[in-house]
């Protein structure tokens, strides 16, 4: 994986660079956006004194296929408001470099998978089938009625293809810009979806990686996926 870190030389930038390099990423740090594209899977837009909206717009034009994220440099700031503002201005997400390194990398990889996967109209996992266009969910021949947000979460997890989707990524995708959402909203939503999906005697498809997020895994590959 290749990451381009853009902005002032700050401790948060240095730490993110170190975290990514330690996990085998190719990392390049620049003071400003380059005038022409260069190979990059992730572009991290840090602080450089210029308006964030303009820098995000330029990053998207220069790197149309990359994941464009902002960097939360000061964890004491209102992180939720910061993230909502960045998303509203065009970022795919916001990264807190102060989080444990594995969590930072897992979050970036999960977001990359979601961004790169083209839209699909149907999914199947064991005896679960989902028709996105008709919003129809069936398991073992049983129709399952879901709320709009439950359906969104189901499709988001199916798009991840068995990978764990971090709670913060779910929050950003399903409640982007909503400042009043409770901290446990994702957990409550996942719990409701699990009750809808799992009928009597059926294997569990929706799994929790405690402290990280959720995934949908075939019953045949559950142990291997959650141990990875």
pLDDT in tens, the chain (228 residues): 899 898 877 888 888 889 899 988 999 988 888 888 888 899 998 876 677 888 888 888 888 888 898 887 655 544 444 556 667 777 888 888 778 888 888 888 888 877 776 567 888 999 999 998 889 999 988 999 999 999 999 999 998 888 888 888 888 788 865 667 776 889 999 999 999 998 778 889 999 988 888 999 887 655 444 543
For the chain, the distance separating the N- and C-terminal CA atoms, rounded to the nearest angstrom, is: 19
Q: In the prediction, which pLDDT does 177 show?
A: 58
Q: In the prediction, which pLDDT does 85 show?
A: 66
Q: What does 27-46 look like in DSSP terms, one character per residue? A: EEEESS--SS----SEEEE-
Q: How far is it, in rounded angstroms, from Cα 204 to Cα 7?
A: 45
Q: At what angle do helices 148-159 and 167-174 cross, to 10 degrees?
A: 130
What tokens does 113 get? 């998978």
Q: In the prediction, which pLDDT does 198 show?
A: 86
Q: In the prediction, which pLDDT does 92 show?
A: 83
Q: In the prediction, which pLDDT does 79 show?
A: 47
Domain boundaries, the chain: 2-116, 122-227
Give me the architecture of the 122-227 domain, per CATH.
Orthogonal Bundle (1.10)
Task: Estimate to the nearest angstrom the gap between the alpha carbon of 101 and the chain centroid.
Answer: 15
CATH superfamily entry for domain 2-116? Response regulator (3.40.50.2300)
Q: In the prediction, which pLDDT does 136 show?
A: 92
Q: In the prediction, which pLDDT does 188 show?
A: 94
Question: What Cα–Cα distance (Å) separates residue 172 from each residue in 55, 81, 97, 122, 169?
Answer: 21, 11, 17, 24, 5
Question: What Cα–Cα distance (Å) separates residue 133 from each residue in 123, 139, 172?
Answer: 11, 17, 23
Phi-psi category of 13—alpha, beta or left, where left has phi over 0 and alpha has psi -120 to 50? alpha
Nearest CA among 214, 198, 196 for reference residue 147: 196
What tokens does 84 get? 């909502």
Q: Is the dihedral of CA 173, 174, 180, 184 positive or negative?
A: negative
Q: In the prediction, which pLDDT does 131 show?
A: 92
H-state helical runs in the chain:
11-22, 52-62, 79-88, 101-116, 148-159, 167-174, 185-197, 222-227
């Amino acid at each position: 994986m290749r990451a381009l870190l853009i902005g002032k030389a700050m401790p948060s930038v240095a730490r993110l660079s170190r975290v990514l390099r330690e996990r085998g990423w190719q990392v390049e740090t620049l003071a400003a956006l380059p005038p022409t594209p260069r190979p990059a899977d992730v572009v991290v837009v840090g602080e450089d004194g210029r308006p964030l909206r303009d820098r995000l717009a330029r990053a998207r034009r220069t790197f149309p296929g990359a994941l464009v994220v902002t960097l939360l440099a000061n964890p004491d700031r209102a992180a939720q408001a910061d993230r909502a503002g960045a998303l509203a201005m065009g970022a795919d997400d916001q990264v807190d470099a102060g989080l444990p390194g594995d969590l930072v990398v897992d979050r970036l990889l999960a977001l990359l998978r979601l961004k790169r996967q083209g839209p699909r109209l149907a999914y199947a996992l064991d005896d679960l089938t989902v028709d996105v266009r008709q919003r129809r969910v069936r398991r073992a021949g049983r129709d399952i009625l879901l709320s709009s947000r439950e359906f969104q979460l189901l499709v988001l997890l199916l798009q991840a293809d068995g990978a764990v989707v971090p709670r913060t990524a779910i929050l950003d995708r399903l409640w982007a810009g909503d400042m009043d959402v409770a901290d446990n909203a994702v957990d409550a939503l996942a719990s409701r979806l699990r009750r809808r999906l799992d009928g009597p005697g059926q294997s569990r498809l929706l799994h929790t990686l405690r402290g990280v997020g959720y995934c949908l895994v075939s019953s045949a590959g559950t142990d291997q996926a959650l141990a990875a």
